[in-house]
Amino acid sequence: MAGIPSALLQQYGASLNRFVKGEYIFYEGWPAHFYFQVEEGTIKMLNGGENNDYIQGVFSQGESFGEPPLIGDFPYPADARAISNAKVWVLKKVEYLRLLRENPDVHFELMKVLAKRLCHKTKLLNAMNTQSPEQRILTIIDFFKQKSHRSGDCFEVPITRQAIADMTGLRVETVIKKVIQLADIGELRIANHKIMRPW
């Protein structure tokens, strides 16, 4: 899903808000009162840990975030923070729910998006509980590859080694070592310090 068209969001009263790199959009425990959709930049949802953060998801242009608490009427289970300078559409909850009721095609697309996210979370939990560090890393990379609409011989991984560590529960040193090992056996490539995954 490329997100809700901006014209439709504006029709229901959405505003385009700017966030600077590092700025929080919302905090864990806050009540959910708004729908958020990225227009430019990148947002991550994370839980802060004692030693490091755990990234729940990374969202870029056209992607929305934070809908389950909005629809389910419970507080945000994670923080949302801008990874880069970003522009984000913000729509009041009451208007978002009206938009869904009045646009069944948008509602259906939302259900598909949420189902895909749930499937990804299940795969990731399985990988973290039963698979090797290498498989955890490939599970995360393949999730981003499946979301991508880019073409070419290789998929360029859009997140850092630190972010991969934060999403898999591994130490960044382990990720660096395992990425090199995966490149040695052809599962990944490294070019100009960027991680590439062959299609």
Average pLDDT, the chain: 89
113 in Cβ contact with 64 (< 8 Å): yes
- Classify 27 as helix, strand or coil: coil
95 in Cβ contact with 12 (< 8 Å): yes
Share of the chain above pLDDT 70, in %: 94
Handedness of CA 92, 3, 53, 47 (dihedral sign): positive
- 12: pLDDT confidence band, cut at 50, 70 and 90? very high
Q: What distance lies between CA 53 and its chain's CA centroid? A: 14
Instruction: Give CA–CA dist 40/16, Å, rounded.
Output: 10
- 143: pLDDT confidence band, cut at 50, 70 and 90? confident
pLDDT higher than 60, residue 1? no
Chain region(s) in the chain for CATH 1.10.10.10: 131-198
Q: Which fold has domain 131-198?
A: Arc Repressor Mutant, subunit A (1.10.10)
- 50: pLDDT confidence band, cut at 50, 70 and 90? low
- 15: pLDDT confidence band, cut at 50, 70 and 90? very high
Tokens of 161: 């080694």
Residue 49, sorted as left (phi over 0), alpha (psi -120 to 50) or beta, turns out to be beta
**Averaged pLDDT, 39-51:** 85
Tokens of 181: 């090992």
Chain region(s) in the chain for CATH 2.60.120.10: 6-117
**Averaged pLDDT, 107-133:** 83
**Averaged pLDDT, 136-161:** 83
pLDDT higher than 90, residue 66? yes
Contacts of residue 37, defined as CB under 8 A and 6 or more positions apart, other chains included, come to 3, 4, 9, 62, 63, 64, 65, 88, 89, 91
CA dihedral 128, 125, 88, 50 (to 10 degrees): -50
16 in Cβ contact with 3 (< 8 Å): no
Strands (E), 79-131: 79-82, 86-92
Instruction: Give CA–CA dist 77/12, Å, rounded.
Output: 26
- Classify 91 as helix, strand or coil: strand
Query: What's the confidence (pLDDT) of residue 178?
Result: 94
**Averaged pLDDT, 101-118:** 91
Query: What's the confidence (pLDDT) of residue 150?
Result: 67
The CATH class of 6-117 is: mainly beta
- 167: pLDDT confidence band, cut at 50, 70 and 90? confident
pLDDT higher than 80, residue 91? yes
Starting at the earlier edge strand, list the strands of the sheet with 24-26.
24-26, 79-82, 43-48, 53-59
54 in Cβ contact with 73 (< 8 Å): no
Query: What's the confidence (pLDDT) of residue 62?
Result: 92
Query: What's the confidence (pLDDT) of residue 63?
Result: 93
